[in-house]
Every structure is written in C-alpha cells, then in structure tokens.
Chain A
Amino acid sequence: MNHLITLTMAIYLGGAFLISLLWRENETVAGAAAISFVALSAITSVLLGIEVFTNGSILYFAGGWERPLGIALMLDPLSALFLIMTNVIALLVTIYSAVYMKKYTWTPYFYVLFLIMLAGMNGILISMDIFNIYVFLEVASVASFMLVAFGLRAEELEAAIKYTVMSFIATTMILFAIALIYGFTGTLNIARFMDASAGLTPVHLWFLAGLLLAGFALKAALVPFHSWLPDAHSMAPAPVSAVLSGMFVKVAGLYVIIRVTANIFTNLPQIRILLLLFGALSMVFGGLMAYGQKNIKRLYVYSTISQIGYCAVGLGIGGYLGSLGVLMHFVAQAFSKALLFLNIGAVEYVRGTVESDDLKGLNDTMPVTTLFGSTGMLGIAGVPPMGNFWSKLIIIIAAVKAGYTGIAVLCIVVAVITLGYFLKLQRTVYCNLTESPVKKEAPKTLLVPMGILAFMVFVSGVLLVPGIREHTLDKAVAVMENFSYVDITIGDNR
C-alpha cells in the first residue's frame, strides 16, 4: 500500500495528459475535467494526511528497488501538512479559474500547465532524494514560467523572461551543489548525506550550504534574491498568482530550505545566522516597498516577500517555538495570500483594472468581495482572532527567548507597517465613497472559493489549540527539530 503516496502526483500527470489528448478543443469539458482531477487529488491527499498524522510516516522506494539502491519517497507529517495545503488551495483555485479564465484564449492548455505545475509541487513534497527534488522543482518551475506568460501581453512576456533567467541561475547553483554532494559523499539520499556530511570539512560544508541556500533562496524570493518575484507574480493571471504566491514560493523555497537547513546541514548550525539575516532583510524591504505601490497586485506581492521573511526568521531562530511559528505562519499565510490574489482577480474581472487610483468605493459596489478582501488583509496584518496573529506572536516570543531582542523588535515594527499599508489601501480603495454607487458583484463561482478561503483564514488559528496541536503541528515540528532518517536507511517499510 505504500506506493499510494505517489497517487496525488500521478493523478495530476494523468489528468494533464488526458486533457491535452482528448479535450483540448473543448473549454467547458477541459475545465470540468481539471476540477474533478484536482478534487480527486485533494481528497486523496487529505486521506493520506490523516493516515500519516495518526499512524506515522509512509516510506516507499521507487520501482520496488530496496535500500540502499532505491530512490526514497516518503510522506512524513511535515510533507503531509504541505501536501494537504497545496491540494486544498489548488482545488479552490481551479474552481475559481473555471469562470475567471474565460477571458483568455486556449484555456484547455492553461489547465494542462496548471496540473503539471501541481504535479511538480506534489513531487517535491514526497521526495527524499535531492536529485529527485531538483527534477520535480524544474517540472513545476517550467510550467510556472509558461503560466506567467499565459496572457502573451508585452508586460507578461517581460516578466516571464526575467523569471526564467533568474530561475535558471538558481537551477545551475542547485545542480552544481548536487554534483558536489555526489562527488564528496557518493550518495544523493538526504538521510545518507546527513550521516556522511559529518566527515566533511567545514569549508566543504560551507561551500555546499552556500550554493544550496542561494539556489533555494532565489526560488523562495528572499531579499537579496527577490528581484524577479514582483514582476512575475503581479503579471500572472490571478489564479496563477494565488498558487504561485500562496503555495509555490513556500513549497519550492521554504519547504526545501527546511529540509536543507534543519535536516541536511545538522552538522553546520551557523547556517541559521544567514537565514536570520536574509529573513530580517526581506521583512523590512518587502514591507517598505509595499507601502508605495499603486498597483494593488504588486502591493500584495511585496507583502509576500515581507511575510516569507517572517518564515525565514523563525527558521533562523529554530527550536520548538521557532519551528512552530514557521509552520503556523505558513498555514495562515498560504490561505490569506491565496484569498487576496483571488479577491483582486475578482475586482479585475468586474472593473477591469488593479490600479488603486482608478478604483474607488469598492465597499459600496462590491460588498461581498470587499468583506472577503478585508478578511484576508486583517489576516495578513495579524489582527487577533486570525492565525497570523498567533504565528507572529510565537515567532516574536521565540526571538526574545533565544536572545535576539533586535529581531523581535523588528518583527513588531514590520507587523505595524503591514497593518499600515493595508489600512491605507482600505482608505483609498475600499471605503472611498463614490457619487453614484452601482452594485455590480462578482459571479458566484468566484465568490464561493473566496468565501471558503476567508473562513479558513478565520479559523486557521485553531491548529494551535491544545488537543488539536499535539496531533498536527507538533508532529510536523518534531520532524523539523530532530529528524532521524533511520526509517530510510535501515528498518522495515511500514
């Protein structure tokens, strides 16, 4: 039964194949097929997640080859958390794009590329072999370049070429690091490399860590590796931005950095200082840049950079509280970021613009959309009942406890800046009364996924309630804290 962990990825790949083969002429059938494939995959990932959280990790060796030869695929609580989040958000976004993508031509190919991107993301999450992670990362990345350029307008093409060239630099660094890992230790398995790296000199380790961290920080868009992200994410169609900003940056960047720093380089604890530095820079830079943006999508994108900074800071602090903060922030952030991008997509669908100067009095013309948008903004700004408040609080407490008082103060300041730019947006765009408000609400198919996401943003803090936390987040934190890969190297397949 262990091979079932590849099922979510297989459904996406099969779905992409079938749509491109059979239904590429028919938009309606392609959309319905894509929704049903993603729904199937989301249900599968939830079932797999429940199994992993109750009975422990599932390990499978590709093709039935036994250790040490087989390529290890594993679903542990950490990857299960990311897997469930990815597929649930993907399902809501696919339902949303059934209506939203009607204004584009060749939408069946949109679904094909979208499913391939999701397949790559699912593949990253179950791989325990660093070359496998690289391959799936490229599958997801190449699909995402094409999705960014999907509209084929001049600005979208320009954003896509920046994104592609920067991504290629990251790819090269990662491939160099993988080649050197294989040369130094003779293995590509993450678990075996962790044991073998104890024998390497600090110079070798620093070189490898530097290459890997630079490569994946470029994917995660940490400052100073962020320059491609504002263009790429703000120019993509709204559903694509929602997945790229909500999940892709976290899966391709954050999740792999967690694996690299917290697990591979246990022998090099100093790497956390670099993460702390990048994180603090991203927080401040993203927050300040977001303040001056006229284009609302760009504002949200800079906010993404700022919030990824919080995750990196939590990762740099480490320890139980730091890791808990990172995971909680990731969950709350993924829901609210996806919600905000879908929301601005709905505004664009009805009003045809995302410039804050041209949008006035949304509160009167689109009340439901405004309600969901405000929920997302309050969520990211960290207003108490939402999950982001608790995650930021945990990261700040962790920073104080670990002795990084300056970082803690910085976190509070950036939280205030975040609230500041969202309130400014509320003032100029949402609450600015128009003379003759004409009600024109977005279609219901756009509103329902946003409503579900808004509900999720509201209740995501429930993961921290004692009794639920022990069964979900604590298990994932345990993986980040002291991961023993004994399962992979010796022992039974469960």
Chain B
Amino acid sequence: MILYILIALMFFIGLYGMIAKKNIIKIIIGMNIVGYASNLLFVLLGYKWDGIAPILTEDMSFAYFLEKAVDPLPQALVLTSIVIDLAFVAFLAALAIRLFEKYGTFDIDKIRRLKG
C-alpha cells in the first residue's frame, strides 16, 4: 500500500511541476515525472513479492509457476509507453530550442502571442 501512496505522491509532484512552473524545461521535467509515475503504477500492478521471472522450465510445476511468476504483460506494455514518452520529450526539447530562438526566453508567460 505504501508503494501506491508513494506513486501518487510522485504523480502529484510531477503535476505540480507541470502546472506551477513557468520555465518550459521545468514543465518538461514535470511531464517526465508524471510519465514515470504512471509507468511505475503499471509495473507494480503485475508485480509479486519474491516472484520469479515468467519463464516456465521443465522442472517447474505449473501451479508453482502460476503462484510465483510475475505478470509479464504490464512490463511489455510499459516498454511501449516509455517509447511514447521518449517521443514526447524529444519533440518538446526540440520545440523548446526553437521557441528560445524565436522568443529569447523559456518563460511560458512571455510566450503569448496567440489570443482569443
């Protein structure tokens, strides 16, 4: 249970970074933290204490395997999700550089030409 609370805490730290900070780089870091929190939650859902790798060998009974092996599906899904986060962060970092060239600042409050 304590782990879930810690993940919630991590999620809210990231969310604070995204909402309260004005610097684009800090917003990107906040997004990263939020992404890690959701990935950790996903992995934790398939985890078992003292679990073994989900490989069924010949000297292992099926019942023992079912009881002990961790769920491999969330891990596979999280790999996909990490790649998506990578795409987001790489694109945003490139965008931040371009924005700095045009506006000369990372302050999100000063990047405000669009209105209405």
Contacts and interface: CB of A to CB of B under 8 A. Distances in A.
B80 A135 contact: yes
A131 B27 CA distance: 26
Contacts of B74: 179, 182
Contact of B111 (A135, A158, A295): A158
Interface residues on B, range: 20 to 34
A135 B24 CA distance: 26
B65 to A, nearest CB: 17
A145 B91 contact: yes
B95 A159 contact: no
Given A165-B27, A171-B84, A149 B95 contact: yes
Interface secondary structure of B, over-half rule: helix
B62 interface: no
Contacts, number: 85
Interface in A60-106: none
Contacts of A142: 84, 87-88, 91
Given A152-B98, A161-B99, A164-B92, A175 B114 contact: no
Interface residues of A, number: 37
Given A164-B88, A164-B92, A179-B38, A157 B98 contact: yes
Given A164-B95, A231-B114, A157 B84 contact: no
Nearest to B99: A157
A230 B116 contact: yes
A329 interface: no
Contact of A293 (B91, B103, B114, B116): B116
A146 B91 contact: yes
Interface string A174-218: 011011001100000000000000000000000000000000000
A235 B74 CA distance: 38
A3 B74 CA distance: 26
A155 interface: yes
Contacts of A183: 45
A60 to B, nearest CB: 20
Interface string B26-69: 01000100110010011001000000000000000000000000
Interface in A251-305: 289, 292-295, 298
Most buried by B among A145, A169, A171, A230: A171
A189 to B, nearest CB: 12
Interface of B: 18, 24, 27, 31, 34-35, 38, 41-42, 45, 73-74, 77, 80-81, 84, 87-88, 91-92, 95-96, 98-99, 102-103, 111-114, 116
The 4 A-B pairs at the shortest CB distance, nearest first, are namely A154-B102, A183-B45, A179-B42, A138-B84
